[in-house]
Chain A
């Protein structure tokens, strides 16, 4: 399962080179696993493209504001509602703030919140899912807890979290970091449940498979079993959850800010820009276009990255 060997791949749907059967038996010593993963990843066009776009987005939103002369919150009321021009390539909003500056500043928040909250939700979800699926004793308790979290109404839950934790976090980490932690945790804690259910379902089926039995018979410990045999095999639903999770986190963040639970109102984020611009859909369609494209592009690039990573980590596909 773990070491790559030249397998005779199935001839499924023409995806396999016809020469697979005649390949020579390898003689060189086995290479490091991560090297193989990288090699496979490199050859995945979608993944490479996704990775480059993602890097570009990150670069643009984090380095861009340092180079761009306008501040995202600076109001120049005389030049409001302008279309694209040399000074403002993406135009200005209803208060005369530069849209490009706001897109970049918003991207910082949205990308960091999206990625961190997604990772937190994935971690929690996979942890609960694997534990519940693998250890029968934990299953009942963990799954009832998942039911509970699924049933809790989101809005009151978030209101309570803000009520309890906003001031202590602000005091401990300062207002900006405090709110960032609060938002990431709020989104993470309220969105891990589907991942947990999905992972558990897959684990339940996996642990009855022959290779698990085989691994168990040679005395593999539970920890090894989970990290080497179970986790790699539930990677694809986790990757799908990751892509869905980023989109979900970016949108939820805007909903939180809208409720007054998130960042201060003059703090742009992609979700908020999109929400604010929806009213102006007919007059200034470009205002909804840019945040919409930015969110979609981020999600799309992460999706292809995930696809490539999943393929690269799957030894059955590797070397194809």
Chain B
């Protein structure tokens, strides 16, 4: 398994380079213009000058190589500088956003806390809710619990978050006044009261996202458990006299985890990618909002960098899932 992991990690480098090239070309080909949000009152000659100032006059391959150097060579230097107080990166041009004219990575770092708090928390919560519900629904298939669970999870993923989010705001912010409808990203947790406030402002977005995530994951958990509950080895385990708890939660669960691990691993990069719609609805202004804003403004360096970080996480977590398959089912071998 170790050699497999190492081989895959080495192989990931050309894969990622290729992905970054494809993303770059895709963005290049997509229609759009960084001047789209400039008012129509600005004459075209001025817009042309502004485009040139952004470096848009240069040919595509030069811009791609520039981005590669900035992202893989200069940005790590900036990181080292920040960690150890050195000055390797001084005077070197970093990846600059077209919208803000400032380094992209600084904004990404700035956006991390709220995204991890809200989206990360909702994902953990979603998984924690989904697993027991999925297991119990399968174990008691077609019981009231299962039927109600199915019903709620169907609504959970067939009603989009742009609607559930607004519904919650209308009920809990407008009518009841319990939670703020606008997330305060400048809020700092320093004491008990501020922690309570933090939870209050997180409550609605976390609920919306957790419901959505839990709905999906619990369906996969349930289906996979159902597949395994009728297998011969379950009967063998019971025949051996193992307790029901051990049979279900150790034997069946372990064998049912493969699709669930896949789904969970597929979702983790999305945590970092932020939740575009939910972040918009609650004004969380995390990474998802950053990405959608950048796409709308056609801020290519920002979109490219964010998407690439996202790609990195996808490759990484899919590798982790592959390794976990081997742990869950030792018969799976890659060599």
A residues near B, CB below 8 A?
9-13, 15, 46, 140, 143-144, 146-148, 150-153, 155-157, 159-160, 163, 193-194, 197-198, 201-202, 204-205, 208-209, 233, 236-237, 239-240, 243-244, 247-248, 250-251, 271, 274-275, 278, 281-282, 288, 292, 295-296, 298-300, 303, 310, 314, 316-317
B291: nearest residue on chain A (CB-CB)? A153
Q: Is B219 in contact with chain A by the CB < 8 A criterion?
A: yes
Whether the pair A198, B163 counts as a contact (CB closer than 8 A) is no
B residues near A, CB below 8 A?
11, 15, 18-19, 22-23, 26-27, 29-32, 139-142, 150-151, 154-155, 157-160, 162-163, 166-167, 170, 174, 216, 219-220, 223-224, 226-227, 229-230, 234-235, 238, 255, 258-259, 261-263, 266, 269, 291-292, 295, 303, 307-308, 310-311, 314-315, 318, 321, 325, 329, 331-333
Kindly state the separation between the CA atoms of A317 and B31 in the bound complex, as whole angstroms: 53
Select B18's contact among A9, A148, A244, A271, beta carbons within 8 Å: A148
A288: chain B residues within 8 A (beta carbon): 163
With A201-B262, A240-B220, A316-B230 known, 13 other A-B pairs at CB within 8 A are A10-B235, A13-B139, A13-B229, A147-B15, A151-B23, A156-B30, A157-B30, A159-B30, A193-B266, A205-B332, A296-B155, A298-B158, A314-B230
CB distance from A196 to the nearest CB of B (A): 10
CB distance from A201 to the nearest CB of B (A): 5
Whether the pair A147, B315 counts as a contact (CB closer than 8 A) is yes
Kindly state the separation between the CA atoms of A197 and B261 in the bound complex, as whole angstroms: 10
Interface of A is mostly: helix
B310: chain A residues within 8 A (beta carbon): 151
Whether the pair A274, B142 counts as a contact (CB closer than 8 A) is no
A275: nearest residue on chain B (CB-CB)? B162
A144: nearest residue on chain B (CB-CB)? B15
CB distance from B103 to the nearest CB of A (A): 21
Select B307's contact among A15, A46, A151, A204, beta carbons within 8 Å: A151
Whether the pair A148, B224 counts as a contact (CB closer than 8 A) is no
Kindly state the separation between the CA atoms of A293 and B318 in the bound complex, as whole angstroms: 35
Select B230's contact among A159, A197, A317, beta carbons within 8 Å: A317
Whether the pair A274, B163 counts as a contact (CB closer than 8 A) is yes
Kindly state the separation between the CA atoms of A204 and B155 in the bound complex, as whole angstroms: 32
Kindly state the separation between the CA atoms of A239 and B30 in the bound complex, as whole angstroms: 34
Whether the pair A201, B31 counts as a contact (CB closer than 8 A) is no
A282: chain B residues within 8 A (beta carbon): 170, 174
Select A197's contact among B19, B262, B307, beta carbons within 8 Å: B262
Whether the pair B318, A247 counts as a contact (CB closer than 8 A) is no
B234: chain A residues within 8 A (beta carbon): 10, 12
A156: chain B residues within 8 A (beta carbon): 26-27, 30, 32, 295, 303
CB distance from A295 to the nearest CB of B (A): 5
Select A237's contact among B18, B30, B154, B220, beta carbons within 8 Å: B220
Which of A12, A140, A205 has most chain B Cβ within 10 Å?
A12
Whether the pair A274, B160 counts as a contact (CB closer than 8 A) is yes
